[in-house]
Structure 1
Amino acid sequence: MNEKTLRALVEAGAIRRVRIIADGCRFHMEADTANATVIAQTGKGTPKTWGTLDAAARWMRALGIGSAQLDVSRWSPGQRRLAL
Structure 2
Amino acid sequence: MNEKTLRALVEAGAVKRVRIIGDGARFHVEADTPNATVVAMTAKGAPRTWGTLDASARWVRALGIGTAQLDVSRWQPGQRGLRV
TM class by shorter chain equals over 0.9
* Cα drift, residue 83 of structure 1: 4.0
Q: Aligned to 1:11, what secondary structure does the other structure show?
A: helix
Q: Aligned to 2:44, what secondary structure does the other structure show?
A: coil
Q: How far apart in 1 are the matches of 2:80 and 2:43?
A: 24
* Cα drift, residue 38 of structure 1: 0.1
Instruction: Work out the percentage of aligned pairs sharing the same amino acid.
Output: 79
| Root mean square deviation, CA, Å | 0.9
Amino acid of the structure 2 residue aligned with 1:72? V
Query: Which residues of structure 1 form unaligned runs of 5+?
Result: none
Query: Which residues of structure 2 form unaligned runs of 5+?
Result: none
Q: How does 1:1-84 map to 2 (within 5 A)?
A: 1-83=1-83
* TM-score, normalization by structure 1: 0.96
* TM-score, normalization by structure 2: 0.96
State the aligned residue count.
84
Q: How far apart in 2 are the matches of 1:46 and 1:19?
A: 18
